[in-house]
Amino acid sequence: MPSLFASYLRVYEPLTAFDRDRQLFWRRYAREGRALGPVEGPVRQRTAVLEALGAGWTRLPDLPDEAYVLEWGDTLLICPWNLRLRVAEAALNARDGVPSVLADAFVPPVLAGQAKAVVEDWRSGAKVLEHGVPRVHEQVATWGVPLRWFVFVDLDEREINLNGGRRSLRYRTEISKARRRAHRGVSVLRKSLGDAPITEAVEEGTRWLEEFHPRSIVELDYGGLTGLLQDTDLRDDDSPGLVAAGLSALSRGDADAATEAYEKLVARWRAVQLLERCN
């Protein structure tokens, strides 16, 4: 279930990435102006899930097909929400590492069974799109931005708006550029750090990017985190630049410079993460 204090990594695909029925559906969806923007979307997602679940968390709800729509040049691109799948995954994750008594209280076994069936159905290929890959187009992180996401974007790709209630900060790039950065990052990290957690995390993100159409657009959106940061913090944000500097330092064997960039980045985002404890 989307959190208001969350960041998002999204992939928008061109209509040609979908089968014919989906193309017609999304084209009509966009033409009718039904899509919400990334500022309003997370609230709508949360509301839709809560309304569908109702008071009794006993069933996996049917949720409407919704998406973000992006016009990039002359191309219409779609980022489906896949809410039913995401709710199913959240229900299963809520049971992980929790004693069975508590797990059954939060997510009853009947609901867990439904959630498992939905996830397995998706992964087995029953919901596979035309190109044969079950794609989840949006990743969500609460109370911060995963540092690995910054590998995929460049500081020059920032889009910022500090006007009133529609404050936003996002980075958008062509997926071909994101993939090149991702593969370079993995190469540098593997050579310098080996099988470190950060290497594995960037590799996982790289594999995810490979699932999508080559003319897709990648978006890193600070989402609700903009409500936790001052205008000066957003204006001066250079997190992708720090990641690029750290990787460049690692590639030339300058451990001190790499550590300095990493520590600066971690300190910046730890301050945001600590706000969760104040909530």
Q: Which of 25-34, 38-47, 241-250, 266-275 has the lowest mean pLDDT?
A: 38-47
Sign of the Cα torsion 47, 48, 51, 52 reads: negative
Q: Looking at residues 10-37, what average pLDDT do you find?
A: 92
In tens, the pLDDT along 38-82 reads 888 888 877 776 666 554 556 666 777 889 999 999 999 999 988
Interacting residues of 249 by C-beta distance below 8 A, sequence separation 6+: 255, 256, 257, 258, 261
Domain edges within the chain: 6-82+135-278
Higher-confidence position of 128 and 10: 10
Higher-confidence position of 206 and 273: 206
Interacting residues of 170 by C-beta distance below 8 A, sequence separation 6+: 38, 158, 159, 219, 220, 221, 222
Distance between first and last Cα of the chain: 18
Q: Looking at residues 244-266, what average pLDDT do you find?
A: 95
Higher-confidence position of 120 and 234: 234
Interacting residues of 257 by C-beta distance below 8 A, sequence separation 6+: 245, 246, 249
pLDDT of residue 54: 53
Distance CA 177, CA 103 (A): 42
In tens, the pLDDT along 74-110 reads 999 999 988 777 777 777 776 777 787 776 776 777 7
Q: Looking at residues 12-35, what average pLDDT do you find?
A: 92
Higher-confidence position of 1 and 170: 170
pLDDT of residue 214: 95
- Mode of pairing for the β-strands spanning 138-142 and 158-161: unpaired
What is the pLDDT confidence band of residue 134, given thresholds at 50, 70 and 90? low
Is residue 10 scored above 50 in pLDDT? yes
Here the tokens at position 157 are 């790709």
In tens, the pLDDT along 209-252 reads 998 999 999 999 999 999 889 999 999 999 999 999 999 999 99
pLDDT of residue 4: 77
Is residue 131 scored above 50 in pLDDT? no
Question: Are residues 43 and 16 in contact, defined by beta-carbon separation less than 8 angstroms?
Answer: no
pTM score, whole prediction: 0.84
Q: What percent of the chain has pLDDT over 70?
A: 86
Question: Are residues 200 and 243 in contact, defined by beta-carbon separation less than 8 angstroms?
Answer: no
Question: For the chain, what is the mean pLDDT?
Answer: 85
Interacting residues of 82 by C-beta distance below 8 A, sequence separation 6+: 136, 137, 138
